[in-house]
Amino acid sequence: MSSTTTSVPARVARTASPGNNRRRRARTVPIGALAIFVGPFAVLFIAFYLVPIGYAIWKSLLVVERQGTFGAATEVFGGLSQYVRVFENEVFWQSVVRVLVFGVVQVPVMLGLALLFALLLDSPLLKGKRFFRLAFFVPYAVPGVIAAIMWGFLYSPQLSPFSAVTSKVDFLSSDFVLWSIANVVTWVFVGYNMLIIYSTLLSIPTDIYEAARLDGAGQLRIAWSIKIPLVRPSLVLTSVLSIIGTLQLLAEPQTFRAFSSAVTSTYTPNMTIYATSSVPNVSLAAAMSVVLALATFILSFTFLRITRRRGAAL
């Protein structure tokens, strides 16, 4: 009789154990609800991201062959022959080197200005913060093509209202046009990067600032020793986005072709890819795209690893 009475609570305890409850909840996962919410994203991600990447890779493995001089062109599998041609293409690599030089100078200047403006907006010494926040961000609302056209007219000696300057310094010459484009990119994207950094500054607890002020720290000391180290993740994020954007530079130099003969059809890697596909040589252009994507990934990943190691050392 005693064994019967003790076995019932034991079974109840086993049934009501946390592990059984977790397993029961795991078995009742609403698969239909997950499919409804995740399904549209998955379909769009596959259709507009994975499928184009797969198609580009497949296209880069094909070569065009002709039967005779005037025979019909047919695409056949060529292995890595298109990639060999990419690495032998001096024009493509010259454009890559050009945008790398562009990024080495332009990205630090742009992020430095973005950090400075974010610190000014977060400073209690600045008046009219709403006006300046809007003024710094407004250029980002201007499309890149419109911004390039506007600055192209400002650079042109015949059309610029600053002809006293543009008549003496040819901003559209081969020596200056790259940095003229850098000025346009900086003008457009400083506000965007500033908002990312400024959002991080707003999330910092004010108790830290109050403790620093009690210790006698001024605004410059607080900015240098507290704010800048705490916004480091935002600086890393904006740097990675800027690296990717630099290697994908297209709209601004393409627009500047109407103002300067120094900007050729192969001035940047994306312009080289577009010009190659228009020949038409779509397979070679696809191979260039894949190589450029891998180069972008390697540079971004290397930058993240370096910044992570330095952050761990600090």
Closest CA to 139 of 102, 85, 183: 183
State residue 127's pLDDT score.
86
Cα(110)–Cα(185) distance, integer angstroms: 9
- CA Rg value for the chain: 28
CB 182 within 8 A of CB 107: no
Q: Where are the domains of the chain?
A: 35-77, 90-310
Cα(238)–Cα(244) distance, integer angstroms: 10
CB 197 within 8 A of CB 114: yes
CA angle 59-60-61, nearest 5°? Answer: 90
State residue 279's pLDDT score.
83
- Say whether 174 sits in a helix, a strand or coil: coil
Identify residue 181 by its one-letter amino acid code: I
State residue 28's pLDDT score.
63
CA angle 267-270-272, nearest 5°? Answer: 55
Paired tokens of 73: 């062109």
208 Cβ contact partners less than 8 Å away, ≥ 6 residues apart: 226
CATH 3.30.200.20 at 90-310, yes or no: no
Q: Residue 46 carries which DSSP code?
A: I
Cα(117)–Cα(106) distance, integer angstroms: 17
| Pairing, β 62-66 against β 73-77 | antiparallel
Could you check whether the bond before residue 280 is cis, i.e. omega within 30 degrees of 0?
Answer: yes
Paired tokens of 196: 């990312």
Paired tokens of 231: 């916004």
Closest CA to 249 of 237, 267, 235: 267
State residue 4's pLDDT score.
46
CB 296 within 8 A of CB 244: yes
Per-residue pLDDT of the chain (314 residues; tens, 9 = 90+): 444 444 545 554 455 555 555 555 555 667 888 888 888 999 999 999 999 999 999 999 999 887 766 667 788 888 899 999 999 999 999 999 999 999 999 999 999 999 999 999 998 888 888 898 899 999 999 998 999 999 999 999 888 888 888 888 999 999 999 999 999 999 999 999 999 999 999 999 989 988 988 888 888 999 999 999 999 999 999 999 999 999 999 999 999 999 999 999 999 999 999 999 988 889 999 999 999 999 999 999 999 989 888 766 66
Please list the residues that pair with 77 across neighbouring strands: 62
State residue 195's pLDDT score.
94
Please list the residues that pair with 73 across neighbouring strands: 66
Q: Which residue reads 């080495």 in tokens?
A: 104
Cα(244)–Cα(233) distance, integer angstroms: 17
CB 283 within 8 A of CB 62: yes
State residue 61's pLDDT score.
94
Helix (H) or strand (E) run with residue 75 in it: strand 73-77
Cα(249)–Cα(171) distance, integer angstroms: 19
**What is the number of other CB atoms lying within 10 angstroms of the CB of residue 292?**
21
CB 219 within 8 A of CB 182: no
